Structure 1
Amino acid sequence: MTTTEMPVPPEPPVAPHGDTLVAEAPNLWAPPPAAPDRPAVLVEEAPALRTAGQALGIVGALLLCFVVQFTLVGALKHERDQSQAHTDFRVHLANATAPVSALTEDGRLIESGTPVAILEIPRLGVREVVGEGTSSSALASGPGHLRSTVMPGQAGTAVILGRRAGYGGPFAQVNKVVPGDEIRVTTGQGEHRYQVQGVRRAGAPQRHVPAAGKGALTLVTADGPYFMPTDVLWVDAKLTTEVMPTSGALPSFAVPDNERVMASDLTALVPVAVWALVLVAAAFAVVYLKQRVGRWQAWVVGVPVLGTLGLTLADHAAALLPNLI
């Protein structure tokens, strides 16, 4: 009887040194193959986008400094300057040396910002020291007397300019006075009282033109939205107390261009350029510090330094805006 032979399984392969080789099972837990590299164009765009973002951040920081300076810090500066001017003017009144003319005794212009009067509007709760001169820089400290007009209390029309929004906005509410309201002005010649005749805007005729030997007062500020004025607003009032001797005023052509109504102070261009260069140099120094020392150290040093320089630059740049804003 023939026996059927069973197939013999193949022997496992033998390694060169006699070890048996075992076939490895596929690894089901192996990580997926790595994603292909990103296109080179995306890598090249990243630095440009980062630079643009940093530039926008710097511009935004400068605009923020400008807004903070013009509103919050400017209001504090206005209060500080007013306090100092009030003290100085009281001393001049006590010593009978308060100016009563646009010129000094030797014929020179009174220095811009010199206290010449105290203006009070009871209805609005306004009490401000008035300085001589109406440039944008001078009006940052408070209302200013227009040099081409007589001093308050004298025969003729005295004109006082004041800001509506920035640096404390002392004339922010003058449009709310009504005919019959009282305005008081104290100068080196005493206290003078005026009666409001009305508020007028562009195109309206002056309500009160003083006759010869009579006195009047006009308050001037911006009209329209607070930080985007559209025109000029006037408040006219007539003098109801005794007229004081007139010491004279500058002719209109002698008034500097930067002291006219809604004028900008172009003399601020030089300090703006200088402080801008200082700010750029400081920014480069902070970047260098970041590369050499570290990010946090650069932040600790850079934020107060760049913030201070930014506010200083904004203060000078604000003088380039119309003086009644």
Structure 2
Amino acid sequence: MAVISPPQPEAGPPPSHPSSPQGSQPAVPAQERKGPDPRFTVPGAALTLLAALLLGFAAHLTVLGHIEHARAQQTGYDRLRDELALGTAPVGPRDQQGRPVPNGAPVAVLHIPAIGLREVVFQGTSSEVLMSGPGHLRNTPLPGQPGTSTILGRQWGYGSPFNHLDQLRAGDPITVTTGQGQQHYTVTGTRRAGDQDPVALTAGQGRLTLVTATGGYYTPHGVLRVDARLVGQAQPAPAAGGAVPAAELPLAGDQSAWLPVLLWLQALLVATVAVSWAYRRWGRWQTWIAGLPVLTALVIALSGAATALLPNLM
């Protein structure tokens, strides 16, 4: 006996997804976006930081350095003018209280009309001091006193005060104002490496020697000296002489600047880590608005400390 099976329902269209249009296939969920690959992120951040440091270093030697020099000249002139009016300006290696005149203290005003130079001269000749202007070599007498007074100045960086020193010719006048009044000199000649030294001074005579670098843009490779003889009677001078640190000799860098360089570098690394953390937790624009001024200030401070390692006459 044949068994009759019940009729099967006809196949209809597949049921549609409740959240998709009629007849469309269900949407495939998108894969989660992966984070940045550290193999490229870390080197990229390091190169960006290095580029910022090099840019800040170049800016500090040029634009920012000239601004810093102009500010130091103005503040130094105001201080020296007050000391000249009060009669407390230095006239030797020690002040009126018998203490050594500190490095960076203004001691004179140098005026050379032939090259349009008027600069405040500071005590000391380290690279850091010469960022403010010309510096007086501490183991030589002050201008106007018997003996050879030596003043060092930069050729290109930080105001370029001695950039045109090679244009001076014999007979050009030089005036230096110190705590003992105006001292007048006349240029006698220029010297480079290998040239003959000037004749020795006799008792009571005075000489001024201006020293700067020779070479191209920010590439010193020698020393230029301009000698000038004192016109008139020399002023009384306290005992001078002694040795100066190697960092204050011509074309020397200040190795003591390594400590502030390392400290500023650590501060920059901490700030970089903080900005990176804030970028992930806070947001792009909020992080840059708050972090960029901090990073810029640290880069400028670090580059300024690093320039003290370079030759002081550059």
TM tier, smaller: 0.7 to 0.9
- What are the equivalent positions in structure 2 for 1:177-188 lying under 5 Å apart? 177-188=168-179
Q: CA offsets, 1:140-168, max 9 Å, x none?
A: 11111001111100111100001111111
Q: CA offsets, 1:85-121, max 9 Å, x none?
A: 1111111111111111012345432111111110001
Identify the residue that residue 321 of structure 1 maps to in structure 2. Answer: 310
- What are the equivalent positions in structure 2 for 1:239-278 lying under 5 Å apart? 239-251=230-242, 253=243, 255-278=244-267
Name which of 49, 55, 68 aligns with 1:64: 55
Change (3 A) 1:287 1:96: same
- What are the equivalent positions in structure 2 for 1:8-23 lying under 5 Å apart? none
The answer to whether 1:175 aligns with 2:130 is: no
Structure 1 letter corresponding to 2:91? V
Structure 1 letter corresponding to 2:228? A
Identify the residue that residue 299 of structure 2 maps to in structure 1. Answer: 310
Q: Secondary structure, in 3 states, of the residue corresponding to 1:230?
A: strand
How many angstroms apart in 1 are the aligned matches of 2:208 and 2:200?
Answer: 10
Change (3 A) 1:92 1:68: same
Q: CA deviation at 1:263?
A: 1.6
How many angstroms apart in 1 are the aligned matches of 2:61 and 2:125?
Answer: 18
Q: Secondary structure, in 3 states, of the residue corresponding to 1:236?
A: strand
- What are the equivalent positions in structure 2 for 1:131-142 lying under 5 Å apart? 131-142=122-133
Identify the residue that residue 157 of structure 1 maps to in structure 2. Answer: 148
Q: CA deviation at 1:262?
A: 1.6
The answer to whether 1:77 aligns with 2:40 is: no
Alignment RMSD (CA, Å): 2.0
Q: CA deviation at 1:275?
A: 0.9
Identify the residue that residue 214 of structure 1 maps to in structure 2. Answer: 205
Identify the residue that residue 225 of structure 2 maps to in structure 1. Answer: 234
Q: Secondary structure, in 3 states, of the residue corresponding to 1:224?
A: strand
Q: CA offsets, 1:37-93, max 9 Å, x none?
A: xxxxxx9x9643443233211101001111111211111111111111111111111
Name which of 261, 279, 292 aligns with 1:290: 279
The answer to whether 1:194 aligns with 2:168 is: no
How many angstroms apart in 2 are the aligned matches of 1:250 and 1:150?
Answer: 8
How many angstroms apart in 1 are the aligned matches of 2:187 and 2:289?
Answer: 54
Work out whether residues 208 and 238 of structure 1, in 8 Å CA contact, stay in contact via their aligned partners in 2: no
Identify the residue that residue 52 of structure 1 maps to in structure 2. Answer: 43
TM-score of the pair, normalised by structure 2: 0.86
How many angstroms apart in 1 are the aligned matches of 2:251 and 2:221?
Answer: 11
Change (3 A) 1:17 1:228: same
Q: Secondary structure, in 3 states, of the residue corresponding to 1:229?
A: strand
Structure 1 gaps, min length 5: 1-15, 20-42
For the pair shown, which has the larger CA radius of gyration, 1 or 2? 1
Identify the residue that residue 114 of structure 2 maps to in structure 1. Answer: 123
How many angstroms apart in 1 are the aligned matches of 2:232 and 2:78?
Answer: 26
Percent of matched pairs sharing the same residue: 46
Q: CA deviation at 1:212?
A: 2.3
Name which of 195, 218, 230 aligns with 1:204: 195
Work out whether residues 206 and 236 of structure 1, in 8 Å CA contact, stay in contact via their aligned partners in 2: no
Work out whether residues 208 and 216 of structure 1, in 8 Å CA contact, stay in contact via their aligned partners in 2: no
Structure 2 letter corresponding to 1:56? L
Structure 2 gaps, min length 5: 1-7, 12-33
Structure 2 letter corresponding to 1:267? S
Structure 1 letter corresponding to 2:264? W
Q: Secondary structure, in 3 states, of the residue corresponding to 1:207?
A: coil
How many angstroms apart in 1 are the aligned matches of 2:241 and 2:214?
Answer: 27
How many angstroms apart in 1 are the aligned matches of 2:42 and 2:263?
Answer: 25
How many angstroms apart in 1 are the aligned matches of 2:39 and 2:189?
Answer: 59
Structure 1 letter corresponding to 2:268? L
How many angstroms apart in 2 are the aligned matches of 1:211 and 1:306?
Answer: 57
Structure 2 letter corresponding to 1:243? A
Q: Secondary structure, in 3 states, of the residue corresponding to 2:216?
A: coil
Structure 1 letter corresponding to 2:270? A
